[in-house]
Every structure is written in structure tokens, then in C-alpha cells.
Amino acid sequence: MNALLNPPSWPERMRLQPMRSGSLDVVMAVERMAYPFPWTRENFASSLASGYLAECLFDDHDPHHLIAYYVAQLGVEEMHLLNLTVAPADQRRGWGRRMLQALCVRCLQHGAAKLWLEVRLSNTHARRLYEDFGFVRVGVRRGYYPDFVGREDGIVMCLDLSQAPVEGA
């Protein structure tokens, strides 16, 4: 394992905070820009109602500027990443990697030794992020995602956090 599991360093003006129902207008605005097949507002609302872990990264200089968010479901000693999104105008500046780091810290806090996710076969940017981060491909879900024509496969990936050194330990 590497140093990826250290808490991310955020610039002072950045604020990572729990996603709240009051944030869903701005979350939905980013979600619609980021995906051809976005989550619905109901997907987010039911995630919050179910107590899923969900955090938003805001720019304190502009409280309406949502940079990134994630939604993850805690299971028994494992976490499932359901949504990780960086606003299109803020992509490729290291926010996605930092959000993953922040989620890994949460995994350790919750005793989750594995972090699972699915990613579209065609989503090469996200797949590269996950591979660079240390996720390994463990399977394929055939036709997991909707597509413009038919369905698209989902690649199942997993990060094993059990050997991760905890900063300061």
C-alpha cells in the first residue's frame, strides 16, 4: 500500500461537508452536467434517507460552487462507492483523487477493509484514476449501465485497505 491513505490536504478555502437535502439543487446541477445518464434527485434523496455516507466539497469563497461529491454505502467491513463526481469545470485538478483519499479515511474510521465500485467500461478517465489509486479489477457486470444504444458493461473494482498504514500510527 502507499501513502494514498493519508488524509487529503485541502486548500484553506475548501470545505468538505456532509451532503444535505438542502444541497440537492446544486448537486443535481453538477450531476446533469457530468453524466449523460445522471442520477435522479430521488437517487440522492433516498441515499441520504438511507444514511449512506455522502460528502460535498464546496469552495468557501462561493458557497454555491460545488466542486465534487461522493455517495458511498457502508456494509459489513466494506464500503461501496456509488457515485464520485467532480464538476466538469473543476476536473483534472486533483479533486477526484483527494475525494477518494477522504473516502478511504472514512473507510478506516468505519472499519471498512475493502472499497468496492463499478465503473463504465468506456469511462477511461475514471478507470485510470482508480487504477492509479490502487484499485484492482475483479469482475464485470454485463449490461450494468444504460447506454444510448443497448446497455454497457460495468467493471467491478476493489481497493484492499486492510494493509494500509494509518498516518501517525
Instruction: Give the integer Cα–Cα distance in Å for 119 and 23.
Output: 25
**In 3-state terms, the chain is what percent helix, strand and coil (to 5)?**
30, 35, 30
Residues contributing to the site for ligand COA (CB under 6 A): 34-35, 84-86, 91-97, 119, 123, 125-126, 128-129, 132
Q: Measured from the CB of residue 161, what is the shortest distance to ligand COA in angstroms?
A: 18
- Among all chains, which residue has been given the C-alpha cell 449523460? 36
Whether 78 is catalytic is no
Strand 114-120 and strand 78-86: pairing? Answer: parallel
Whether 69 is catalytic is no
The active-site residue out of 55, 118, 144, 145 is 118
The active-site residue out of 52, 69, 70, 130 is 130
Measured from the CB atom, the residue of 111 and 137 that comes closer to ligand COA is 137
Q: Measured from the CB of residue 81, what is the shortest distance to ligand COA in angstroms?
A: 8
- Among all chains, which residue has been given the C-alpha cell 467491478? 156
Catalytic residue IDs: 118, 130
